[in-house]
Structure 1
């Protein structure tokens, strides 16, 4: 994060505005909407019509005052901040120097290198205000992002926030615990009361709010709730909308070792984050301890997100965690995620099924205590299918030997896909007999899948070529594009 987002309270405070042209007019509009008193220094510029109108209207009450001289240190003594919006470079730098010497925060329009703070592109649904900043690098892009957000947010969002504010004291009085109030507001914003207010029917919204509040006040203190959330294969863009919603509601997040910081950035800022992940040879917590931790946090009235790579119910032990929550009488919801096999296939244009090559998809685990895992090898060795092996890198050679021993041809196409969907992703392709050597020579260390079957030949040749250029494959590895 290059800049710290913040919102200034300017009502009744003085802001210095240096300049009187079009750029100054734009800033003046925002300052007036924020309730600031503006001291304007035209610096010889002809006032923009909007600036002239504001000067005329503000002359009577002093909300906008004109000073026909250069800004000086004395002007900054009572100023909350200053904006330099003049065209002339020398005048701009001189004004910034004066203001910085007086320790007044300054923004210089279109001169990010001279700015102490930056103006974001603003989505205004007051009292809900959203600021989008590019750190001065791409203001037009920030405005395009603003337009996209504008299209997503209902026009009545500010009305809903103001409505909720009128009930804050009543909720605080009738729902004594912080966790209970949080649950109330979650139910309020998810339910019929908020929908009615957004639709302009505040009378119906008030009725629904009172009904919800009375029911919550009469109920026993609520226990927490648990979300078992699949975070997908690693690319934050593959998070589901429901996963994002759960992550934003969390009081505590228990996350796997494979959950990267880019994913955790989407968690609610004030949520407690607890790493509970397990890596090969370095388990931080056993599964029973993780189950107990989930239950303990939920029983304390907290909303718990158990954040897992891929999908919770595909080699994620989500079933065990669900059973522990149910046994404890807790409300538990499973939020599915894009599993690694699907993410890996999409990343390299590798179809896991194909009418000509694979009518069956088998997803198995390669985890085993020495030797090859105990799988139905004769079935997995048959033609016309794709076999995807999770957690199989350490046993790659033994897996290949077992398949070949049960009838799979030595030249059946195979791939090792590492860090799928991440910037460091790569794919190594070769024959089944070479699978162990591919892993060893490439020194595969990140999370990886083994994909075995004729579909490997259908991987996107361009993707293979691009990855080969970025991270050269070993001599034994070769693209099998057909």
Structure 2
């Protein structure tokens, strides 16, 4: 993030707009909506600006730029057709500590004017650091299509009741739950349908009813294999409403960026040889936070029920009477294999797939894998990188062909994804190339030969 998102309060604040053409007129439209006290400085102004001046909405100084025009000004906008004037404005504004925006010149600007979506009191700004204005227009159109036209009326209704709700419901978390019921229930439905009178009556009835204590809950959420765009819509919704998020080490920062900014974030990851908290401690912490009335998210890489101990956590929470839901995620086997171009099943190559853990306890595991591999199934091994030599040896001993294709996928679906492929006999050498700290998935079977190889240091196909 190269800029800090914010909204300026400009009501009755003095603002200077330099220029009298269309660019200046566009900025004046926005500034007038914000209630700014606008002065436009230009020898000549177009008809739209002239109408504003004639109506007394804008003051006009029929002059070219001089630093004195910045006296008492809060912000300034350079929209002159003469670039030398815009440059002079930018220099003088910085000298005087006045924030300046120069149209289409992000490098000269202290703030950017975003693409804007308005729904009454709801204002959404979208910026790209000045790099892609056409793209902003398309994003704005997409968001516009998603937002109900009466969203501003719902916001205004909530504003009318805000002080009353604060007086009646003094406990903050209980008050938050009340507003969640308003925006997720019949009040919002009626307001968005145009029945403002019905929405107002329903909200008043809910406010006058006894307020139950805020009940906590836990959601076991799958974060997917790493690409934040592979989060499900349900997962995105749940993490955006969380009060506390307990996340694993394998959940990347790009996914955590989707968590509500004011949510408490607690790293509880367990990697081989590195345990921040034991499973018992994690279970107790979830229960404790939910007992405080919080919406808790247990955020796990992949899917909570695929080598994520989600089943154990579900049992614990249910046994302690805590409301819990499970939000599935795209598990690593599916997401990473697809990103590497590997079909886990294929009519000509594999008629089934088996997901296994690389934490071998005895020879029985490898024998079972070998049976599936020999039968033409794909075997996907989680957490098997450090055991690559052992896995290779046990499979060979169980009769698997040494030339059976294998592939290793590191940081699957992420920008730093790396893929290598070869044959089973060379598995330890392939594993040695993946010496980073990212998660690695091992695919064993004929389909591994279809992997799209990506660059690794001094890589060659084994």
Task: Give me the TM-score of the superposition, normalised by structure 2.
Answer: 0.95
State yes or no: 1:350 paired with 2:342. Answer: yes
Q: Which one of the candidate residues 41, 45, 48 is aligned to 1:47?
A: 45
Deviation at 1:230, TM superposition (A): 0.6
Distance 1:36 1:334 in 2: 49
Change (3 A) 1:212 1:351: farther
Preserved contact between residue 256 and residue 309 of structure 1 (Cα < 8 Å): yes
Change (3 A) 1:374 1:453: closer
What SS does the corresponding residue of 2:74 show, helix, strand or coil? strand
Q: Which one of the candidate residues 417, 423, 431 is aligned to 1:431?
A: 423
What SS does the corresponding residue of 1:79 show, helix, strand or coil? coil
What SS does the corresponding residue of 1:35 show, helix, strand or coil? coil
Change (3 A) 1:212 1:350: farther
Q: Which one of the candidate residues 150, 158, 164 is aligned to 2:158?
A: 164
Aligned to 2:117: 123
State yes or no: 1:316 paired with 2:296. Answer: no
What are the within-5 Å matches in structure 2 for residues 283-298 of structure 1? 283-298=275-290
Q: Which one of the candidate residues 85, 102, 113 is aligned to 2:107?
A: 113
Aligned to 1:38: 38
Aligned to 1:453: 445
What are the within-5 Å matches in structure 2 for residues 357-436 of structure 1? 357-368=349-360, 376-377=368-369, 379-436=371-428
Distance 1:36 1:339 in 2: 52
Q: Which one of the candidate residues 239, 247, 250 is aligned to 1:247?
A: 239
Aligned to 1:474: 459
State yes or no: 1:100 paired with 2:91. Answer: no
Distance 1:102 1:319 in 2: 62
Aligned to 1:12: 12
Preserved contact between residue 223 and residue 330 of structure 1 (Cα < 8 Å): no
Distance 2:254 2:400 in 1: 40
Distance 2:58 2:436 in 1: 66
RMSD between aligned residues: 1.9
Distance 2:409 2:310 in 1: 24
Aligned residues: 462
Preserved contact between residue 442 and residue 473 of structure 1 (Cα < 8 Å): no
Change (3 A) 1:371 1:76: farther
Deviation at 1:183, TM superposition (A): 1.6
Aligned to 1:327: 319
Task: Give me the TM-score of the superposition, normalised by structure 1.
Answer: 0.91
Deviation at 1:98, TM superposition (A): 2.5
Distance 1:320 1:146 in 2: 43
Preserved contact between residue 221 and residue 326 of structure 2 (Cα < 8 Å): yes
What SS does the corresponding residue of 2:90 show, helix, strand or coil? helix
Encode CA deviations 1:180-222: one digit per residue, 9 max, x unaligned.
111222222122221211111112322432344345x342x12
Preserved contact between residue 85 and residue 108 of structure 1 (Cα < 8 Å): yes
Preserved contact between residue 397 and residue 436 of structure 1 (Cα < 8 Å): yes
Long gaps (5+) in structure 2: none
Preserved contact between residue 244 and residue 265 of structure 2 (Cα < 8 Å): yes
Q: Which one of the candidate residues 198, 205, 209 is aligned to 1:204?
A: 198
Preserved contact between residue 100 and residue 106 of structure 1 (Cα < 8 Å): yes
Distance 1:8 1:15 in 2: 12
Long gaps (5+) in structure 1: none
Deviation at 1:71, TM superposition (A): 4.4
Change (3 A) 1:2 1:393: same
Aligned to 1:300: 292
Change (3 A) 1:207 1:405: farther
